Amino acid sequence: MTPRRATPADIPAIVALTEAAYLPNEAIIGVPSLPRLADYNAVLAEHEVWLLDGEGWLEAVLVLEIDADDFTIWSIAVSPRAAGRKLGAALMAFAEERARGLGYESVHLYTHASLSQRIGWYERLGFTITHHEEMADRRLTHMRKTFSKAG
């Protein structure tokens, strides 16, 4: 299971998978998920987008926002058709490996504060809550996993 970089030709499949993966969360949070509001032409131009392909369909998408100061998992989405196969955990491990390879000492992410199951999953992966961010229409929980450069 090796992720590949996305190309512009992948955008329709990315948008469809993102919608399928994030729509269930919206019943909990009451607003559209930020990744569903994104312009994926811009996302592809500004971020690293990694894909896991299935047999003729897209199984998972990982979007990494990498800048000089921080390495952020901007979005991770697994197709409901691929649920239970631990693809999300595999992509999280890939993101951490990518961060380490680029010399970062931590990985940052954020999610809606109402998604307690998602927050619990991130905590089980070693992330801790750093702070909350109040936005006009949502409250985000920011989390970070810190690791040594040596591993």
Give the separation between CA 145 and CA 126, rounded to whole angstroms.
6
HEC profile of 81-146? HHCCCCHHHHHHHHHHHHHHHCCCCEEEEEEECCCHHHHHHHHHCCCEEEEEEECCCCEEEEEEEE
H-run or E-run covering 53 = strand 48-53
All domains in the chain, ordered by first residue: 4-146 (3.40.630.30)
Give SS3 for 2. Answer: coil
pLDDT computed for residue 150 by the predictor:
52
Q: For the chain, which residues score pLDDT lower than 70? A: 148-151
